[in-house]
């Protein structure tokens, strides 16, 4: 990877390891910003993938009658249905069972030992009938996060929020990354909800917000990247996040104005400076500013 | 290049960028800078500031900017020295002999008269020396993109491009950029912070400026305080101390043309809101700014094929391609195509009714008296009466009762029903013609190739049945504000030479 990409990827990884105790803001400016936001988010995701808390699924006891679920079928694709109930056996040794309704095949039941084997998981997306792939590019993600790919892709999380214009969507779908001999795109790692309706896996990790969106619903995420001045000026008040990074292209005519507004926000909220981790060295031509709000 | 590579390339270019400066020298032009400064102070001291600004300072500043940034011959049409001399000499007549402004203007006239006989413009020589294959020439005023492209095509046998400074934003990184003017000239924005993005993050590793040595180089700061990316772009003046240039409201040549449009005082001329649009290859037009007005934009589809798109005129942007009829002699498209579809034989009825209304207004002496009679005695809704009479795009009233009312008033009641039938038929044919025009234009545009349009210097002629002379033009400039313009001037492409 080029030096700038190593830096932003490492920067994203560093942010993922910072304690989520205070709201933190970071600004990076570049002479061109293609792929920057996506690489940052991928760095953040990669550090999270290494945490057991992050990829372990909910236990069966947390599910209730009627909850939407997914599970792996015999072809390693995801099926959809609703949970029924857990029946505790009185036998010794116990052979507990749970019931569920498959959207395609109707009422079913299984022994609980299959709950983990087939990765039964809570689902909060739109119902579907035909089986869906785990990931559009399973081999790439498997090479990127070996041993964890099935658990990562059988559950949804609003972990990362990406706010930006159409170009950021093009960045996410560009097949320009390689890992262990496989080729992939940033969306294979970030699994952005509703980015593409072709072969998209149902479980997402990231959200995408269009700067022009007028939705009054607030978005929650652990980590948010605002790509461009329009993204941060339009959506800053509608996204709640512990860690926010603003990526600005210095050719953007509104970049100075937005930076000035962010500086005022920092002063008003009595933000204190955040220094880059000692392991990170800012490449020539990139600017950085960071602050935390206590 | 891939997308990761785009950012790498942008960073490498900005980190390795070099800046070079080539100073032009021409005694009269240098003196003109000094006189311009003196005139600026004299106009400031005078009482009729805005009048003197328009009469003297603006023409001198305009001449000085052209002479300091363009490579054309001093005696050529582009520089316009002769017309500036005539304008200043004529305006100076209005001042007393010993008026300070007149004295400076006369000294300026002497300079310009000497200059017009100079054969060599040093900017041209320096520009030709600096150019190489693939170089991009940058000018501040988009007006000069087309004339300069034509000028350089005659002198250079390798491909190069001329772009407007504002379009650097969308420009890919290139090997070399040659700026015609100083960093101060390019960065300055009247009553705004200087725009130094082209110095902070240049789009080329080699940035060459051809300039007269006036105006210090601007400070080039990063966006974040005390960041390491700030840049010092300094040059030493080779000819000793020169007077400093002040930030001034420099007008684009497009603004000079648009300001020359005279509003009509005639009662018979319909006025409408329109926006000035500068076009490539020495053309301009006034484009209707009515909310329902649309223009035809040529776009390149994702498959690389040219397509025609109907767009609200407020959504037109600089750099896009539009289809427009050329010259006032070309027929109004909708009329012409509708005539081809059968409206021609019905036009006599339309003229009969319109001419009768026109004649009655002339006989009565004024429009208002006719409006009163029609409204009070015949119950006609007269809101659009002026359009019915004087707007060639208006066929007749939409309401039959209003039409019959006008016929009773004009003594045409016996033929009213047959006239109404003809006018309704014309209206239907106009609607049909709208669809036919779009289809004909679409097939003509599909026959063009993107390469042809690029090579055409921003203008290609197309010929379509019943549509007269049409052109595909690159839009170089779109004025932000709309003004009232006579409808006879709207949606007609005119030549810049005529306006200047």
Tally the domains of chain B: 2
Helices (H) and strands (E) in chain A, counts: 10, 15
Cβ–Cβ contact A285 with B under 8 A: yes
B194 to chain A nearest CA, in Å? 12
Q: Are residues B144 and B39 in the same domain?
A: no
Contact B215, B250 (CB under 8 A): no
One domain, residues B31 and B11: no
Concatenate the DSSP letters of all residues of A87-152 into one string.
E---SSS---EEEEEETTTEEEEEETHHHHHTT-EE--S---SS-EES-TTHHHHHHHSTTTHHHH
Chain A residue with minimum CA distance to B202:
A31
Q: Are B3 and A35 within 8 A, CB to CB? A: yes
Spatial neighbors of B472 by CB under 8 A, at least 6 apart, are B298, B321, B322, B323, B445, B448, B453, B456, B459, B460, B462
CA B376 → CA B189, B256, B369, B409, distances in Å?
56, 47, 11, 11
Residues B101, B33 share a domain:
yes
Contact B11 A31 (CB under 8 A): yes
Higher-pLDDT residue of B310 and B463 is B310
Q: What distance in Å separates the CA atoms of residue B98 and residue B157, rounded to the nearest whole number?
A: 53
Residues 6+ apart with CB under 8 A from A162: A37, A38, A41, A168, A172, A190, A192, A206, A207, A208, A209, A224, A225, A227
Residues of B in contact with A35 (CB under 8 A): 3-4, 6-7
- pLDDT truncated to tens, each residue of chain A (294 aa)? 899 999 999 999 999 999 888 999 999 999 999 999 999 999 999 999 998 888 888 899 999 999 999 999 988 899 999 999 999 887 777 789 999 999 999 999 999 999 999 999 999 888 999 999 888 899 999 999 998 899 999 999 889 999 999 999 999 999 999 999 999 999 999 999 988 766 778 999 999 999 988 776 788 899 999 999 999 999 988 899 999 999 999 999 999 999 999 999 999 999 999 999 999 999 999 999 999 997
Nearest Cα of chain B lies from the Cα of A287 at a distance, in angstroms, of: 6
Percent residues over pLDDT 90 in chain B: 51
- Cβ contacts (< 8 Å) between B224 and chain A: which residues? 27, 29, 259, 287-289
Any chain B CB within 8 A of the CB of A256? yes
Q: Do A174 and B222 touch (CB under 8 A)?
A: no
In a domain, B100, yes or no: yes
To the nearest whole Å, the CA of B195 is away from the closest chain A CA by 9
pTM of the complete model: 0.85
- Check if the beta carbon of residue B215 is closer than 8 Å to that of residue B64: no
- Residue B229 forms part of a structural domain: no
Per-residue pLDDT of B74-103, as tens digits, reads: 999 999 999 999 999 999 999 888 899 999
Chain-chain contact of A32 with B228 (C-beta, under 8 angstroms): no
User: Which of B11, B193, B224 is closest, CB to CB, to A285?
Assistant: B11
- Inter-chain CB proximity A1 and B10 less than 8 Å: no
B189 touches chain A (CB under 8 A): no
Distance from CA of B256 to the nearest CA of A (A): 26
Q: B169 touching A, CB under 8 A?
A: yes
ipTM of the prediction: 0.92
Report pLDDT for B331: 59
Query: Does B153 lie in the same domain as B84?
Result: no
Domain boundary among B66, B94, B115: B115
Q: In which band, very low, low, confident or very high, does the pLDDT at B109 lie, cut at 50, 70 and 90?
A: very high
Does residue B195 lie within any of the structural domains?
yes
Q: Which residue among B4, B193, B224 places its CB closest to the CB of A29?
A: B224
A250 contacts B200? CB cut-off 8 A: yes
CATH of residue B167's domain is: 3.40.50
Its domain, for residue B156, covers 3-24+121-211
Q: Delimit the domains of chain A by residue range.
A: 3-55+135-293, 60-118
Residue B62 within any structural domain of the chain: yes
Residue of A nearest to B2 (CA): A176
DSSP string covering B393-452, please? T--S-SSHHHHHHHHHHHT-GGGHHHHHHHHHHHHHHHHHHHHHHHHHHHHHHHTS-HHH
Reported confidence tier of residue B238, pLDDT bands at 50, 70, 90: low
B131 belongs to a structural domain: yes
Tens of pLDDT, residues B374-428: 999 999 998 888 889 888 888 889 999 999 999 999 999 899 999 999 999 999 9
Q: Verify that B70 and B40 share a domain, yes or no.
A: yes
B1 to chain A, any CB pair closer than 8 A? The answer is no
Cβ–Cβ of B3/A36 closer than 8 Å?
Answer: no
Quick one: closest CA in B to A286, which residue?
B229
Domain identity same for B87 and B130: no
Tell me the mean pLDDT in the region B201-209: 97
Q: Determine whether the interchain pair B8/A285 forms a contact, defined as Cβ–Cβ distance below 8 Å.
A: no
Q: Give the nearest partner residue to B223 out of A32, A34, A259, using CB atoms.
A: A259
* Residue B51 shares a structural domain with residue B97: yes
**Of the partner residues B15, B193, B223, the one whose CB lies closest to the CB of residue A248:** B223
Q: Locate the chain B residue with the closest alpha carbon to A257.
A: B223
A58 to each of A53, A121, A159, B114, how far by Cα in Å?
10, 7, 16, 89
Q: Which of B138, B181, B121, B130 is nearest to B158 (CA)?
A: B130
SS3 B232: coil
DSSP assignment of B91-159, as one string?
HHTTS-TT-HHHHHHHHHHHHHHHHTT----HHHHHHHHH--TT-EEEESSGGGHHHHHHHHHHH-SS-
Domain stop point among B194, B211, B228: B211
Do B19 and B31 have their domain in common? no
Cis peptide before A93 (omega within 30 of 0): yes
Instruction: Tell me, yes or no, whether B17 and B69 share the same domain.
Output: no
**Contact: B7, A259; criterion CB under 8 Å:** no
pLDDT of B278 strictly over 90:
yes
Interface test with B, best of A34, A166, A185, A258 (most B CBs within 10 A): A34
Retrieve residue B28's tokens: 């009269």
Query: Residue B487: what pLDDT?
Result: 86
């Amino acid at each position: 990877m080029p030096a700038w990409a190593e830096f932003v990827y490492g920067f994203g990884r560093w942010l993922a390891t910072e304690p989520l105790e205070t709201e933190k803001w970071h600004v990076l400016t570049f002479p061109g910003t293609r792929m920057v936001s996506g690489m940052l988010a991928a760095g953040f995701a990669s550090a999270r993938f290494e945490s057991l808390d992050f990829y372990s699924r909910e236990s069966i006891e947390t599910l209730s009658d009627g909850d939407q679920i997914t599970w792996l079928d015999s072809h390693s694709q995801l099926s959809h249905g609703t949970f029924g109930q857990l029946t505790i056996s009185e036998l010794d040794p116990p052979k507990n069972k749970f019931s569920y309704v498959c959207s395609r095949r109707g009422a079913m039941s299984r022994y609980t030992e299959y709950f983990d084997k087939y990765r039964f998981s809570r689902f909060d997306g739109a119902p579907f009938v035909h089986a869906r792939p785990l990931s559009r590019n399973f081999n790439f993600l498997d090479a990127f996060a070996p041993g964890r790919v099935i658990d990562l892709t059988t559950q949804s999380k609003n972990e990362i929020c990406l706010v930006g214009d159409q170009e950021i969507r093009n960045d996410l779908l560009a097949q320009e990354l390689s890992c262990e001999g496989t080729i992939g795109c940033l969306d294979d790692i970030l699994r952005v909800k509703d980015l593409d309706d072709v072969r998209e896996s149902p479980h997402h990790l990231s959200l995408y917000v269009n700067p022009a969106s007028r939705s009054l619903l607030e978005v929650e995420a652990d980590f948010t990247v605002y790509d461009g001045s329009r993204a941060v000026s339009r959506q800053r008040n509608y996204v709640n996040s512990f860690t926010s990074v603003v990526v600005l292209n210095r050719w953007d005519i509104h970049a100075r104005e937005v930076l000035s507004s962010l500086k005022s926000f920092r002063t008003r909220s009595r933000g204190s400076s955040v220094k880059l981790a000692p392991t990170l060295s800012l490449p020539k031509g990139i600017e950085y500013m960071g602050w935390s709000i206590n | 290049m891939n997308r990761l590579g785009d950012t790498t390339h942008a960073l490498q270019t900005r980190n390795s960028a070099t800046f070079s400066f080539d100073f032009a020298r021409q005694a009269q032009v240098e003196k003109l800078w000094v006189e311009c400064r003196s005139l600026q102070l004299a106009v400031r001291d005078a009482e009729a500031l805005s009048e003197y600004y328009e009469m003297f300072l603006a023409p001198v500043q305009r001449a000085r900017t052209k002479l300091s940034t363009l490579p054309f011959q001093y005696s050529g049409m582009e520089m316009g020295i002769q017309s500036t001399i005539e304008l200043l000499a004529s305006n100076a007549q209005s001042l007393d002999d010993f008026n300070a402004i007149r004295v400076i203007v006369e000294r300026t006239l002497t300079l310009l008269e000497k200059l017009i006989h100079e054969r060599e413009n040093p900017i041209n020589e320096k520009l030709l020396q600096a150019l190489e294959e693939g170089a991009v020439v940058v000018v501040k005023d988009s007006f000069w993109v087309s004339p300069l492209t034509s000028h350089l095509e005659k002198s250079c046998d390798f491909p190069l491009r001329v772009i407007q400074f504002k379009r650097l934003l969308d420009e890919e990184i290139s090997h070399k950029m040659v700026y015609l003017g100083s960093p101060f000239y390019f960065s300055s924005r009247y009553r705004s912070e200087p725009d130094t993005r082209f110095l902070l993050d240049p789009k080329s590793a080699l940035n060459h400026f051809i300039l007269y040595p006036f105006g210090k180089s601007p400070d080039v700061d990063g966006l974040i305080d005390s960041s390491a990316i700030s840049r010092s772009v300094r040059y030493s003046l080779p000819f000793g101390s020169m007077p400093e240039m002040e930030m001034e409201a420099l007008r684009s040549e497009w603004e000079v043309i648009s300001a020359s449009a005279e509003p009509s005082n005639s009662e018979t001329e319909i006025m409408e809101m329109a926006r000035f649009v500068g076009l490539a290859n020495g053309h301009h037009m006034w484009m209707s700014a009515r909310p329902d007005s649309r223009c035809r934009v040529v776009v390149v589809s994702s498959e690389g094929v040219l397509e025609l798109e109907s767009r609200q005129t407020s959504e037109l942007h600089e750099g896009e391609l539009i289809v427009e009829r050329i010259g006032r002699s070309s027929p109004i498209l909708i009329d012409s195509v509708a005539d081809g579809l059968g409206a021609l034989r019905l036009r006599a009825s339309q003229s009969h009714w319109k001419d009768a209304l026109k004649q009655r207004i002339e006989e009565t002496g004024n429009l208002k008296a006719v409006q009163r009679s029609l409204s009070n005695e015949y119950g006609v809704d007269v809101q659009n009466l002026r359009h019915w009479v004087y707007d060639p795009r208006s066929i007749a009233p939409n309401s039959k009762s209003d039409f019959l009312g006008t016929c009773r008033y004009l003594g045409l009641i016996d033929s009213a029903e047959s006239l109404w039938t003809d006018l309704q038929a014309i209206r239907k044919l106009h609607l049909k013609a709208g669809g036919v025009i779009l289809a004909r234009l679409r097939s003509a545009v599909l026959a063009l190739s993107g390469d042809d349009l690029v090579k055409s210097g921003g203008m290609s002629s197309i010929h379509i049945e019943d549509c007269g002379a049409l052109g595909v033009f690159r839009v170089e400039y779109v004025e932000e504000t709309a003004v009232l313009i006579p409808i006879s001037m709207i949606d007609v492409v005119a030549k810049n030479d005529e306006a200047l």
